[in-house]
Chain A
Amino acid sequence: MSAPFLQVRDLSVRFTTDDGVVRAVDGLSFDVHRGRTLGIVGESGSGKSVTSLAIMGLHRRGRRVSIDGQIRLDGEDLVTASSARVRALRGQRMAMIFQDPLSALHPQFTVGDQIVEAYRVHHRVSRAAARRRAAELLELVGIPEPSRRLDDYPHQFSGGMRQRAMIAMAVSCDPALLIADEPTTALDVTVQAQILDLMRDLQREFDTAIILITHDLGVVAELGDDVLVMYAGQVMEHGSVADVFARPEHPYTWGLLQSVTRLDEQRDDRLRTIPGAPPSLITVPPGCPFHPRCAYREQAGPATGTVRPALVEAAPGHRVACHLPAEVRQRIRAEEVTPAR
């Protein structure tokens, strides 16, 4: 396999606030190859969106934000690159789709103007040529009568159409990396599937690397090749979708999987939830950040409250950060987790 298009190594993002230092992302590493999709899952406040904004260079660097580690886009480190360089890459080599297309599109400019603008920042073409390109893009993402819809404003589009327009804008410069931050969360269930299909088609056509940020494991199962489970800004588990869904290793992943509603299976008990709430990122618990909410912390030994677990391979290409001994995890998974699903 060729070198990964995006390599993230030991990425840390810290915000200095009046209440203390927020460790939003802490020691994150992963790769994304072209034509592959990495799903990043976790609860709200686990650092998913902060990671994506860091890759895009959208955090205002300064006294309050510090970013450490490496973000290598096609070999070029974005953390140390000048902001002008990152801006030039933004929109062209890497693009982003946001959660709520109604608020992410500008209400006072037409959809066409917004796509034309995205294209013309990176290409020296006439307005007319860019407009033709915008119509092609709308057609590509499945908007009927594209040249007429160019002159519509976002509020004249339906929710699904808006997200299609957003995707058209994001792919206008054929980016090699597409970051989708909860792209289907604000949409109707029926529209969600269409948008995911569209993203899959575009990925196939343009060999795009996709980072899919979501709290919805169903979306990851649908579109992802690899999955990264984040908790409190740290990686809990990382592996292929097939491995992680078939043999989840981390108690947090178990919790996430068990809290998914499934219609294809009879269930005899109530939907399980993970007790407690994610920690404040200013006072992340010592040791394993998940241990205060972990049902198996007694079996993990005293180190779980003091020593941060290393991310180790449970199987080739499948890493987990947990103090539970491997055989204990296997037993619990066989007895409690897999039967419940």
Chain B
Amino acid sequence: MTRFVVGRLVGAVVILWLVSVLAFVLFFVVPKALGNNPAVLFAGRSPDPATIAGVTRKLGLDRSYVDQYWSFLRGVFVGRHFDSGSDRSWCPAPCLGFSFRNDQPVWSQIVDALPVTASLSLGAAVLFLTVGVSSGVLSAVRRGGLFDRIAAAVSLAGVSLPVYFTGLLLLLLVSYKWHIIDNVHYVALTANPALWAWNLLPAWIVLSLLYMANYQRLTRASMIDTLGEDYVRTARAKGLPERTVIGKHALRPALTPIVTILGLDLGVLFGGAILTERTFGFRGLGAISIDAVNTQDLPVTMGVTLFAAFFVIMANVLVDIAYAVVDPRVRPR
């Protein structure tokens, strides 16, 4: 089992490295090849040649690509200096460079945004997972019944309605009309857990609506399969109560595909829920990355990209490990 986990982690590191090469090529090699000098983007409006030369030197754009990538990679692990001759700045590890726009270290921006994104995605995940899976189980058990049909309609609506519609509608109702939650804004969990949850609740609901349908339908289909399995009949033949038959013998194997999708969804959600963050005005990774793209802030875009890739890859490793925990047949011997 340990060898299995270590193997997956090594694989993850290799993939992450490939992603970093790809991101570097995409953000620093391609623009230059297309005649779009990153130094000009950094230097601001109508810069003079001396400034551009200084910036080029500071970012190391005059050196070879291999050299530039190497400095970048070193920076991530041990930090690096940015030196334009006239001014010298130290970027501590893990260094993803400085923002072109506000000269802040990219890493500190990510660190500031991460709790917002994590709160949003984990809270939503708890909500869509519990509601989605339990309503999926109920739909499967009472297949064709009233609940099943209502759940199908609700989940179809949930997956079809865009966040900027449901989100704004919910905000309109709870904040402006009923004044249940006035002035929705992010409150740190450490500052006030109650306010944290209270302010995030509408965003959780909106984000969950989008994902819940998938989990509801997947659980339903998966449960219908396992409920027809011989081992479920065996469980009934033992005289087990129906809730054990359904909640243990039928649900556990049905969870395998759900774990897969959850891993992928969580990985993507950690990269930032752009629309939801925008709608509710939360400064998470999604909001940062959309701002960075709009302002051609290359280091921030690249930093957030690598960070999101890190989560997607880690989520996949966790899914693989979860498989082995859930299903003994895939466990390496």
| Residues on A facing B (Cβ under 8 Å) | 56, 58, 87-92, 95-96, 98, 100, 103-108, 110, 117-118, 121-122, 153, 155, 166, 169
Residues of chain A within 8 A of B3, CB atoms compared? none
10 A–B contacts, CB within 8 A, in A order? A58-B233, A90-B238, A91-B237, A95-B238, A96-B237, A103-B229, A103-B230, A108-B252, A108-B327, A121-B241
- Tell me whether A105 and B231 are in contact (CB under 8 A): yes
Is B93 located at the chain interface by the 8 A CB criterion? no
| Residues on B facing A (Cβ under 8 Å) | 229-231, 233-241, 249, 252-253, 326-329
- Tell me whether B236 and A107 are in contact (CB under 8 A): no
Residues of chain B within 8 A of A108, CB atoms compared? 252-253, 326-328
CA distance A118 to B327 in the complex (A): 21
Residues of chain B within 8 A of A58, CB atoms compared? 233, 236-237
- Tell me whether B234 and A98 are in contact (CB under 8 A): yes
Given A103-B231, A104-B234, A107-B329; A89-B239 close (CB under 8 Å):
yes
- Tell me whether A155 and B238 are in contact (CB under 8 A): no
Residues of chain B within 8 A of A117, CB atoms compared? 238, 240
- Tell me whether A88 and B239 are in contact (CB under 8 A): yes
The listed residue (A95, A103, A155) touching B237 by CB distance below 8 A is A95
The listed residue (B233, B239, B241, B329) touching A98 by CB distance below 8 A is B233
* 11 new A-B contacts at CB < 8 Å, known A88-B239, A89-B239, A118-B239: A95-B237, A103-B231, A104-B231, A104-B233, A105-B231, A107-B231, A107-B328, A121-B238, A121-B240, A153-B328, A155-B328
Residues of chain B within 8 A of A118, CB atoms compared? 238-239
CA distance A88 to B236 in the complex (A): 11
Residues of chain B within 8 A of A89, CB atoms compared? 239
The listed residue (A92, A153, A166) touching B329 by CB distance below 8 A is A153
The listed residue (A91, A100, A103, A153) touching B238 by CB distance below 8 A is A91
- Tell me whether B234 and A155 are in contact (CB under 8 A): no
The listed residue (A88, A96, A107) touching B253 by CB distance below 8 A is A107
The listed residue (A95, A96, A105, A107) touching B327 by CB distance below 8 A is A107
Q: Shortest distance in angstroms between A165's beta carbon and chain B's nearest beta carbon?
A: 11
| Residue of A whose beta carbon sits closest to that of B239 | A91
CA distance A117 to B234 in the complex (A): 12
Residues of chain B within 8 A of A110, CB atoms compared? 328
Residues of chain B within 8 A of A100, CB atoms compared? 230
Residues of chain A within 8 A of B234, CB atoms compared? 98, 104-106, 166
* Listed residue (B238, B326, B328, B329) with the most chain A CB atoms within 10 angstroms of its CB: B238
Residues of chain A within 8 A of B237, CB atoms compared? 56, 58, 90-91, 95-96, 98
Residues of chain B within 8 A of A95, CB atoms compared? 237-238
Given A98-B230, A100-B230; A106-B235 close (CB under 8 Å):
yes
Q: Shortest distance in angstroms between B254's beta carbon and chain A's nearest beta carbon?
A: 11
The listed residue (A90, A122, A166) touching B236 by CB distance below 8 A is A90
Q: Shortest distance in angstroms between A88's beta carbon and chain B's nearest beta carbon?
A: 6
Residues of chain B within 8 A of A91, CB atoms compared? 237-240
* Listed residue (A56, A95, A103, A104) with the most chain B CB atoms within 10 angstroms of its CB: A104
Residues of chain A within 8 A of B241, CB atoms compared? 87, 121
Q: Shortest distance in angstroms between B255's beta carbon and chain A's nearest beta carbon?
A: 10
Residues of chain B within 8 A of A104, CB atoms compared? 230-231, 233-234
Q: Shortest distance in angstroms between B329's beta carbon and chain A's nearest beta carbon?
A: 5
* Listed residue (B234, B326, B328) with the most chain A CB atoms within 10 angstroms of its CB: B234
Residues of chain B within 8 A of A122, CB atoms compared? 239
| Residue of A whose beta carbon sits closest to that of B232 | A106
- Tell me whether B329 and A121 are in contact (CB under 8 A): no
- Tell me whether A87 and B233 are in contact (CB under 8 A): no
| Residue of A whose beta carbon sits closest to that of B245 | A87
CA distance A92 to B240 in the complex (A): 11
The 9 closest A-B pairs by CB, nearest first: A91-B239, A90-B239, A103-B230, A106-B231, A91-B238, A118-B238, A104-B230, A153-B328, A96-B237
CA distance A98 to B235 in the complex (A): 12
Residues of chain A within 8 A of B249, CB atoms compared? 106
CA distance A218 to B18 in the complex (A): 64
Given A58-B236, A117-B238, A122-B239; A155-B231 close (CB under 8 Å):
no
Q: Shortest distance in angstroms between A36's beta carbon and chain B's nearest beta carbon?
A: 22
Q: Shortest distance in angstroms between A48's beta carbon and chain B's nearest beta carbon?
A: 15
Q: Shortest distance in angstroms between B105's beta carbon and chain A's nearest beta carbon?
A: 47
CA distance A27 to B211 in the complex (A): 52
Residues of chain B within 8 A of A98, CB atoms compared? 230, 233-234, 237
Residues of chain B within 8 A of A121, CB atoms compared? 238-241
Residues of chain A within 8 A of B235, CB atoms compared? 106
Residues of chain A within 8 A of B229, CB atoms compared? 103
* Listed residue (A107, A108, A118) with the most chain B CB atoms within 10 angstroms of its CB: A108
- Tell me whether B239 and A87 are in contact (CB under 8 A): yes
| Residue of A whose beta carbon sits closest to that of B249 | A106
| Residue of B whose beta carbon sits closest to that of A106 | B231
| Residue of A whose beta carbon sits closest to that of B253 | A108
Residues of chain B within 8 A of A169, CB atoms compared? 238
CA distance A89 to B238 in the complex (A): 9
Q: Shortest distance in angstroms between A125's beta carbon and chain B's nearest beta carbon?
A: 15
CA distance A104 to B230 in the complex (A): 5
Q: Shortest distance in angstroms between B13's beta carbon and chain A's nearest beta carbon?
A: 31
Q: Shortest distance in angstroms between B222's beta carbon and chain A's nearest beta carbon?
A: 14
CA distance A110 to B252 in the complex (A): 14
Q: Shortest distance in angstroms between B325's beta carbon and chain A's nearest beta carbon?
A: 10
CA distance A118 to B239 in the complex (A): 8
CA distance A103 to B235 in the complex (A): 12
Residues of chain A within 8 A of B328, CB atoms compared? 107-108, 110, 153, 155
CA distance A107 to B253 in the complex (A): 9
CA distance A96 to B233 in the complex (A): 10
CA distance A90 to B327 in the complex (A): 28
Residues of chain A within 8 A of B252, CB atoms compared? 108
Q: Shortest distance in angstroms between A305's beta carbon and chain B's nearest beta carbon?
A: 38
Q: Shortest distance in angstroms between B147's beta carbon and chain A's nearest beta carbon?
A: 16
| Residue of A whose beta carbon sits closest to that of B256 | A108
CA distance A58 to B231 in the complex (A): 13
Residues of chain A within 8 A of B253, CB atoms compared? 106-108
